Amino acid sequence: MTQADNMKGSKTIAVHWREEEKLYPPTRFIGQAYMTDPAVLERFSEKHFPECYNDYAELLDWFQYWHTTLDDSNPPFFKWFVGGKLNACYNCVDRHLEKQRNKTAFYFVPEPEGEPIEAWTYQMLYRRVNEVAAMLRDFCGLKRGDCVTLHLPMTMELPITMLACARLGVIHSEVFGGFSGKACADRIVDSASRVLITMDAYNRGGKLNDHKQKADIAIKAAAERGAKVDKVLVWRRYPGKYGSATPMVEGRDFFADEVLKDYRRQQVEPEVMDANDTLFIMYSSGTTGKPKGAQHCTGGYMAYVAGTSKYIQDIHPEDVYWCMADIGWITGHSYIVYGPLALGASSVLYEGAPNVPDAERPWRIAEALGVNIFHTSPTAIRGLRRAGSEGPAKYDYHFKHMTTVGEPIEPEVWRWYWEVVGKREAVIVDTWWQTENGGFLCTTVPGIHPMKPGSAGPGAPGIYPVIYDESGKEIPPGSGIAGNICIRNPWPGRMLTIWGDDERFVNVYYSRYIDPKSKGWRGWPYFAADGAVQAADGYYRILGRLDDVINVAGHRLGTKELESACLTVAEVAEAAVVPVPDEVKGVLPEVYVALHPGIEADERIAQKVEAAIIQDIGPIARPRRIWIVPDMPKTRSGKIMRRVLSALSASKDPGDVATLANPEIVETIRSLVQD
Ligand code: PRX
């Protein structure tokens, strides 16, 4: 039985979550927050849609104002701020020079702790971005509307190259640095890039990793599929010192730091872009099928990330903001680069892994730089929690605000984040959204709404979510029934389309619940493919991707709530639940857990896990097996690869695991499970 069959069988997803107590934001936070008056929410109500989003667009500098806020004449190809003209680089860099040229735009923190932290002021950024833009234009021949693939790790060259592209109106497509050459090739082919910008090497995991070798693999694989890259710019992590074992290819590969010398002090006028011109492509992190290039626009996207950075991240001019994601993901594009810089903030860019040289590294960085806004994922939080609770208290840092993003957070883990990392001083926002969305969809407004562990909260200002059942009937709040979460209305941060595939765009995100009789945007709900439940208070709890749902004897269980039950067992640090075919029940859950360091695997722990599942969810969810494993197979962005575990449980081939962060663990688990 496939996952799809598994989902068809029943009408509702069973929900067994316990309601969690709400916590109020610390008063000190509210005292300084940008949005504290609940009347503001009224301004973003449907009555004022779409004009409410003019407030976000007003945060930017426009060369020419828009004449139409939303053009919905050709759904679902919505256009925002039509007629408006602007440049993203100008908004992130140039316009801050007058008042704050000497303010730090980025703190670059190298992974080796002995290397100094670099503070890049807006002035320094302005100079370098202009020079790089001149190099891209004159040396690479790139011009407005071209697409260029970047495969850059977390160093200053990444945002600088992105901003230089934006200055020229060149569309950038950054491929996460941890991805393989083959994954990079897929994206070069799809985006038809002629130029690849990469780096020789970068520090991660305590060593200097050869990165340029992936460029050679990528270019060869792309060429085999008819996509010719004729120029490769190679930044050197340590200028002048080549850190890769791969030879440079004469006439094709060039050291960017060397070529750049010819462009010193050059200035490039920012291109006047249309609000609906493409700013970048970001391939979605789909684990199956051809990657989907989410094509994001200039005006709507910039307005949305600036607005949410201001009102949800609550970034003030004096704050030091650290989003510990990778710029190679949408979180980094929106909330390390474009959003914070549009506000003229100081953003931290950390090169490496959070546990190098030890798990207290993030707290030392926070202390050294005075970071007061911290943004990370449940995976990172679980990893830090696994290392122990003593760390944060030792360091003199104080967060006013913390974000969690990327997957549902178990209430246990949320409470640890609140108490230990945030020292009960920081408000927490749990922001639910996707690559395709540009920015947050569900979240509390931190100065207004109380927090509820494990729940993302209501729709973000101006976002009207709805939960539909399989037949398209609305599931009312408080019914305890889960369904498919959709967004009823368009919003400025949403992608324009899937790069080169309008039909797929309509099919994947809209075909599910279209009302053919409707006019304009009504009747075109955006289908997010996540399961969710809405409590009586209007808060949404995301249960995870619909294809993570397990159907046991016609009873749909969200894998996330089983995992959450596992995490109530003190010894358990991480849990993953996967479906395995069963002759009687169709599918049964099988559980994988990894323990906190220093704890020995032991049958009694497995029994405790089973008891916790039965207690929290019921005997229907009794797992077929519980495996205690040394670690979970993870993507480079830290998501647990349930697909791999599920294949192992079903005695199937786990497929290509080369892009995992820890491919070696697959064999360890296989021998445990299958031998
Ligand atoms: O299932 C949801 C989960 O991550 C998916 C989107 O992944 P991606 O496009 O890689 O973007 C991640 C960063 C925005 C969603 O469909 N997800 C994301 N944030 C949350 C979440 N699940 C629960 N709670 C969240 N806060």
Write out 535-569 in H/E/C secondary structure.
CCCCCEEEEEEHHHEEEECCEEEEHHHHHHHHCCC
330 C-beta closer than 6 A to ligand 1:
yes
In the reported structure, the alpha carbon of residue 455 is separated from the centroid of ligand 1 by a whole-number distance in angstroms of 13
| Closest C-alpha among 268, 295, 298, 294 to residue 84 | 298
Among the listed ranges 9-23, 168-182, 233-247, which one has the minimum average pLDDT value? 9-23
Q: For residues 291 and 282, give the distance between their C-alpha atoms in angstroms, rounded to a whole number.
A: 10
Q: What is the pLDDT of residues 609-621, one digit of tens each?
A: 999 988 877 777 8
Q: What share of the chain is helix, strand, coil (3-state, %, to 5)?
A: 35, 25, 45
Q: How confident is the model at residue 554 (pLDDT cuts 50, 70, 90)?
A: low
In the reported structure, the alpha carbon of residue 542 is separated from the centroid of ligand 1 by a whole-number distance in angstroms of 9
Ligand 1 atom 10: the closest Cα is on which residue?
285
Instruction: Determine the atom of ligand 1 nearest the C-alpha atom of 325.
Output: 13
| Closest C-alpha among 220, 403, 415 to residue 315 | 403
407 C-beta closer than 6 A to ligand 1:
yes
Question: Looking at residue 48, what is its pLDDT?
Answer: 98
DSSP string for residues in 311-348? HTS---TT-EEEE-S-TTSHHHIIIIIIHHHHTT-EEE
Q: What is the pLDDT of residues 520-532, one digit of tens each?
A: 999 999 999 999 9
Question: Looking at residue 349, what is its pLDDT?
Answer: 98
383 C-beta closer than 6 A to ligand 1:
no
Percent of the chain with pLDDT over 90: 81
456 C-beta closer than 6 A to ligand 1:
yes
In this prediction the pTM is 0.88
284 C-beta closer than 6 A to ligand 1:
yes
The label of the residue with tokens 């670059």 reads 108
544 C-beta closer than 6 A to ligand 1:
yes
Instruction: Determine the atom of ligand 1 nearest the C-alpha atom of 285.
Output: 10
Q: What is the pLDDT of residues 278-306, one digit of tens each?
A: 999 999 854 445 789 999 999 999 999 99
Ligand 1 atom 22: the closest Cα is on which residue?
407
Q: For residues 432 and 482, give the distance between their C-alpha atoms in angstroms, rounded to a whole number.
A: 16
- Looking only at the bridges linking them, the beta strands covering 104-109 and 118-121 are antiparallel
In the reported structure, the alpha carbon of residue 257 is separated from the centroid of ligand 1 by a whole-number distance in angstroms of 36
331 C-beta closer than 6 A to ligand 1:
yes
Ligand 1 atom 4: the closest Cα is on which residue?
406
In the reported structure, the alpha carbon of residue 417 is separated from the centroid of ligand 1 by a whole-number distance in angstroms of 18
Q: What is the pLDDT of residues 41-95, one digit of tens each?
A: 999 999 999 999 999 999 999 999 999 999 999 999 999 999 999 999 999 999 9
Q: Pull the structure tokens for residue 120.
A: 């890049």
Q: Are 175 and 327 in contact (CB under 8 A)?
A: no
Mutational test site, ligand 1, from 413, 434, 442, 541, max ligand atoms within 8 Å of CB: 434
In the reported structure, the alpha carbon of residue 408 is separated from the centroid of ligand 1 by a whole-number distance in angstroms of 8
Task: Please provide residue 608's backbone torsions phi and psi, each rounded to the nearest 5 degrees.
Answer: -65, -40
Ligand 1 atom 5: the closest Cα is on which residue?
434
Ligand 1 atom 6: the closest Cα is on which residue?
434
432 C-beta closer than 6 A to ligand 1:
yes
542 C-beta closer than 6 A to ligand 1:
yes
| Closest C-alpha among 533, 556, 560, 528 to residue 544 | 560
Which residues, in sequence order, are CB contacts of 206 under 8 Å at separation 6+? 111, 353, 356, 357
- Quick one: average pLDDT of 120-132? 98
545 C-beta closer than 6 A to ligand 1:
yes
Residue type, 605: I
Question: Looking at residue 555, what is its pLDDT?
Answer: 66
636 C-beta closer than 6 A to ligand 1:
no
Query: Nearest 5°: CA angle at 471, between 587 and 583?
Result: 15
Q: Are 566 and 609 in contact (CB under 8 A)?
A: yes
Among the listed ranges 164-173, 359-368, 452-461, 645-654, which one has the minimum average pLDDT value? 645-654
The label of the residue with tokens 């949410």 reads 308
Task: Please provide residue 635's backbone torsions phi and psi, each rounded to the nearest 5 degrees.
Answer: -75, 170
Ligand 1 atom 21: the closest Cα is on which residue?
407
In the reported structure, the alpha carbon of residue 527 is separated from the centroid of ligand 1 by a whole-number distance in angstroms of 14
433 C-beta closer than 6 A to ligand 1:
yes
- Quick one: average pLDDT of 226-245? 97
Q: Are 381 and 409 in contact (CB under 8 A)?
A: yes
Mutational test site, ligand 1, from 451, 542, 549, max ligand atoms within 8 Å of CB: 542
Ligand 1 atom 26: the closest Cα is on which residue?
432
Ligand 1 atom 13: the closest Cα is on which residue?
406
Ligand 1 atom 7: the closest Cα is on which residue?
434
Q: How confident is the model at residue 556 (pLDDT cuts 50, 70, 90)?
A: low
Neighbour count for residue 601 (Cβ, 10 Å): 15
In the reported structure, the alpha carbon of residue 485 is separated from the centroid of ligand 1 by a whole-number distance in angstroms of 13
Residue 70: C-alpha distances to residues 49, 75, 120, 660 (Å) = 9, 11, 37, 41
- Quick one: average pLDDT of 539-565? 79
Q: How confident is the model at residue 2 (pLDDT cuts 50, 70, 90)?
A: very low
The label of the residue with tokens 């000190």 reads 28
pLDDT at 6 > cutoff 70: no
Question: Looking at residue 11, what is its pLDDT?
Answer: 45
Instruction: Determine the atom of ligand 1 nearest the C-alpha atom of 430.
Output: 26
In the reported structure, the alpha carbon of residue 432 is separated from the centroid of ligand 1 by a whole-number distance in angstroms of 6
Ligand 1 atom 23: the closest Cα is on which residue?
408
In the reported structure, the alpha carbon of residue 471 is separated from the centroid of ligand 1 by a whole-number distance in angstroms of 24
pLDDT at 323 > cutoff 70: yes
- Quick one: average pLDDT of 251-260? 98
Q: Pull the structure tokens for residue 285.
A: 């992190």
Question: Looking at residue 653, what is its pLDDT?
Answer: 87
pLDDT at 674 > cutoff 50: yes
Q: What is the pLDDT of residues 621-644, one digit of tens each?
A: 889 999 999 999 998 778 888 889
Mutational test site, ligand 1, from 404, 405, 559, max ligand atoms within 8 Å of CB: 405
In the reported structure, the alpha carbon of residue 131 is separated from the centroid of ligand 1 by a whole-number distance in angstroms of 36
Q: What is the pLDDT of residues 418-441, one digit of tens each?
A: 999 999 999 999 999 999 999 999
